[in-house]
Structure 1
């Protein structure tokens, strides 16, 4: 969590002036081990209890056994860690020109990819002509990220997507679009060391740049890529430990429930 995050939080507090006096606790979707120093700063801003109970993502649904869509058969046919999963969100869609450069770069990279897009011109049963890509209008993101053939995630760095990637142990190529996505990207790349930026601020987004970044990112023999993937696996273990019985998020949730129970008694 960087300075921008604190500005957002303080703005929220100023706008809702009754927050400090009417709220008895604050629940957050992160977990203690992920942002310990930042949370110390946040707690210093408030006198109320703060409980980190995350990652708040639908991980419990992974234990269900639904009939899987056809794109999972496509994933099953790909080698381990060979596919780049691409989803840039739906709330703030990128421009048509930017998407065009990204799609062209993905196609030119030669890397198999699964792209989520609602663009009917891209969503064809045979994927994108001349490429190893498949395009779908929607997918079960967490289950896809956990699939053995998926070796990385090109993401806008929304917080939920970031948490799902952490849970799955998926390294990220970041392409932030708005608000908290930029500091989230900074965490992924600079603090946690589990991703790379699609482009730097002084670079123009082109298909050539996209293809180059994607090929290097998905090169499993690249030493930097190996280190990044090792760190992603370690972050996954920390994330799972937080959720397990006796983990920090499990204990924090119990602490919150105890507080509610005590207030009701």
Structure 2
């Protein structure tokens, strides 16, 4: 994580993100993301960063497409959050914290665009988010929200992996969740040093975090917990 302390503040334009910064700064390379995944991301990443409002969407878990759309929905939420923080970080943030949120916005955009590219015409629409419960001027509020998103993200991937039947999708999901787990660990240490692997907050949602295993939650529990941040109505079928 040394680069988080050394990197200067970066531009938040799409050109900077995908023509230069994503390749140079994002630590997906440290998480073992394959060249194939990176290539697919790069091919589809020059997008409008402002989400289009949709009136509702359905996640059908009868096959892999439903699982991928579920992951796509969560990555949309995370990308929107990190873009907002990176564009105007709290004044109390250290330079390392500012650099972290700059870096991670690129990761989440890359994840979002990866799923959008893979899904093609089968992709759900863009979600409308609701961050009214987050005080983006307060460092503690931002870090708490980041912890919530990352912990839920890790538990979501762990809980839905069993539903994937295509090996390539399962491998990609594993590569992405390993990055999300690194995010979760870093954020937790910012809040309370040494708590990087503590996911006890998810036990109230039914997650088992004992025995050295990371948390896993089913989609219905994850989406219920995330619903306060999503305005778009999400229906779940064939779960």
The answer to whether TM tops 0.5 is: no
Q: Larger helix proportion, structure 1 or 2? A: 2
- Give the TM-score normalised by structure 1: 0.27
Q: Larger strand proportion, structure 1 or 2? A: 1
- Give the TM-score normalised by structure 2: 0.29
